[in-house]
Structure 1
Amino acid sequence: MDLRTYQRQKSKDALKRKAIIAFSVVFFLWLMIWGSFWLPWLRISQISSDDFVSKGEIESAVSPYMASLNSFFLPNNNFFLLRTSELENILKEKGAGIAEVKKLFPQTLDIKFPQTEPWLIFCLSSEALAKESGQCFYVSKGGVLEDYAPQFSEKPLPEIMAGGQNGKLGDGVISAEEAAFLRVVFKNLKILDIYPSEVSFKKDEVKVLMKEDWYLLIPKNMFADKIFADLKLLMEQKIKEDRAKLEYIDMRYENKAFYKLK
């Protein structure tokens, strides 16, 4: 072997050694990082919660996820890898409720179920299905199904009538825009000492059934305050003492109002 060939071979061997060393260092560092996710003191082991849902029910719902591995074969209950949004979805899907989940370093989950004042009631559209499964819900002011409601013989809140057979906690039964519109409607009705018992949305209109057993038809694409200013005038100047005889008032057309007495 001549000197040139020897030098070339020596350079190749040195390069191979460097490559092996570099690979070993990288692999060792990767192994250390991968292994650090398994450290017991960085894995969630405690759950704190309010008394709205029992701790046993919470643990039963989240345990399968907490004990599972992600696509990199790392524990989902590692503090840095755990996704609180995933647990919130799991609790909602399991029927525990709408939760807010936070991580408290290094090993604790804090789970709260915020309570808001119920605004509407929603029941599944099929009466037979609703009676069989008891699927009625309280609806928040944002139009979201926030909690289960019992079957009432006389509902204490207005019922929102919406299409579809399915409903689960966290679903929006009406859009945020419809909910905002309806809040203005209710506010104006209260000013007139009128109280709704049932509401239904159609494509371009809203039907509001009153506890006095008459209904109001209004458009969705007009300012509610303007509609109710006109309604107030109609009540004071036209209907007057005949309010108890009302069958319906139709205010779907701009600058026009129709009503019928029983």
Structure 2
Amino acid sequence: MKKRDVLSSPRLLEIKKKKRRVLKIKLAFFLAGLIVVFVGLCFLSRIPKLNIANIEVVGNKIVETDDIKKVAEGELTGFYLWFLPKTNFTLYPKGRIALLLGEQHTRLKDINLNLKKDGVLEISVGERVGLYTWCGETLPSLGVKPEETKCYFMDESGYIFDEAPYFSNDVYLKFFGITDKGVSEDPTGSRYLPDYFSAMTHFMENIISLDIKPSSLLVKENGKVKGEIEIYLSSNILPPSAPRIIFNKGDDLVKLAENLQASVDADPFKTELKEKREKLEYIDLRFDNRVYYKFK
């Protein structure tokens, strides 16, 4: 009974009220301080010398400068929390702009954003170079003209980045097969044979060094021959009837190149290939250390 009276005594109640008042005052000062800091940041963030006023683009040759600027300007418009401008040097969305540029303009690479004097944002870019073309998941249907097949440029890593115009006379090696996106209406931004492409193009170079000119390559992903690869050689006959080199996806391409070279350098294949090249049907490399071939 006495303990309860002590806890509810007027003196203790007054002490509790004072503590509450002090806490409220501290909280009010803290909130006021936050407001002052926020207002100060808003004021400082809007100082013209601390904001991006212009955008410069360097390094682009094919992608239009205005198209690159448009992406950046779209991300620099507006405010954070309704008050802090996105153009502020310390707040502008650098990573977001670079990401969107890479997604919307897949030809671009090595995208860097740097602040320069006088409020200038410099966007430095590189552009991918088309070394090969990707022309679909499968070979064109019989009767379809080559110029009716839509192809896309690929860089040295097998990255598909832009639609390609029609080229005659096998100017670019053509690749067929499913990309890492799977079947898609728009393959840009996808990769072809991502873990195998570099080795594959090196293998193609080895074939060319043997005076055998490839024109296209197909990776079969369906049916009984899943994973089989056919390299079609330059000919007046269109694939799939054109002469071809056959092997399996995942084979040791260095070993295959050595086997092919040994066969091409030795008779009777050496002489037959020289004399009947236009009658070649296929060269089959699917069997260990053996090369099978057939002429018409």
TM-score (structure 1 length as normaliser) = 0.81
- Cα offsets for 1:32-90 (capped at 9, x unmatched): 345544444333332222351332222233332221445x4454443333344432343
Q: Does 1:98 align with 2:108?
A: yes
Q: Does 1:171 align with 2:190?
A: yes
1:139 aligned to which of 146, 150, 154: 154
Q: Does 1:236 align with 2:251?
A: no
CA distance in 1: counterparts of 2:73 and 2:85, whole angstroms: 12
Does the 8 Å CA contact 1:248/1:260 hold for their aligned counterparts? yes
CA distance in 2: counterparts of 1:253 and 1:201, whole angstroms: 18
Tell me by how many angstroms 1:190 deviates.
2.6
Indicate the residue corresponding to 2:64 in structure 1: 54
Which amino acid letter does the alignment assign opposite residue 203 of structure 2? V
Which amino acid letter does the alignment assign opposite residue 260 of structure 1? K
Indicate the residue corresponding to 2:133 in structure 1: 121
Indicate the residue corresponding to 2:247 in structure 1: 218
Aligned residues: 258
Tell me by how many angstroms 1:138 deviates.
1.8
Which amino acid letter does the alignment assign opposite residue 133 of structure 2? I
Indicate the residue corresponding to 2:232 in structure 1: 209
Secondary structure in 2 matching 1:242: helix
- Cα offsets for 1:210-249 (capped at 9, x unmatched): 1144211122323212111111122222312322021111
Gaps of 5+ in 1: none
RMSD: 3.2
Indicate the residue corresponding to 2:217 in structure 1: 199
Q: Does 1:252 align with 2:286?
A: yes
CA distance in 2: counterparts of 1:31 and 1:84, whole angstroms: 24
Q: Does 1:64 align with 2:64?
A: no
CA distance in 1: counterparts of 2:101 and 2:127, whole angstroms: 15
Look at both structures and tell me which one has the larger radius of gyration over its CA atoms: 2
Does the 8 Å CA contact 2:153/2:163 hold for their aligned counterparts? yes
Q: Does 1:109 align with 2:121?
A: yes
Indicate the residue corresponding to 1:41 in structure 2: 49
Does the 8 Å CA contact 2:160/2:191 hold for their aligned counterparts? yes
Tell me by how many angstroms 1:111 deviates.
2.6
Which amino acid letter does the alignment assign opposite residue 285 of structure 2? M
Residues 91 and 136 (structure 1), Cα distance of their counterparts in 2 relative to 1, 3 Å cut? farther
Tell me by how many angstroms 1:192 deviates.
0.9
Residues 173 and 88 (structure 1), Cα distance of their counterparts in 2 relative to 1, 3 Å cut? farther
CA distance in 1: counterparts of 2:147 and 2:264, whole angstroms: 39
Secondary structure in 1 matching 2:196: helix
Does the 8 Å CA contact 2:161/2:189 hold for their aligned counterparts? yes
Does the 8 Å CA contact 1:206/1:217 hold for their aligned counterparts? yes
TM-score (structure 2 length as normaliser) = 0.73
Tell me by how many angstroms 1:194 deviates.
1.9
CA distance in 2: counterparts of 1:153 and 1:48, whole angstroms: 38
Indicate the residue corresponding to 1:150 in structure 2: 165
Q: Does 1:19 align with 2:27?
A: yes
Which amino acid letter does the alignment assign opposite residue 137 of structure 1? Y
Tell me by how many angstroms 1:12 deviates.
3.0
Q: Once the two structures are aligned, what percentage of the paired residues are identical?
A: 21
Residues 85 and 22 (structure 1), Cα distance of their counterparts in 2 relative to 1, 3 Å cut? closer
Secondary structure in 1 matching 2:107: coil
Secondary structure in 2 matching 1:171: coil
Which amino acid letter does the alignment assign opposite residue 46 of structure 1? N
Residues 147 and 226 (structure 1), Cα distance of their counterparts in 2 relative to 1, 3 Å cut? same
Residues 48 and 124 (structure 1), Cα distance of their counterparts in 2 relative to 1, 3 Å cut? farther
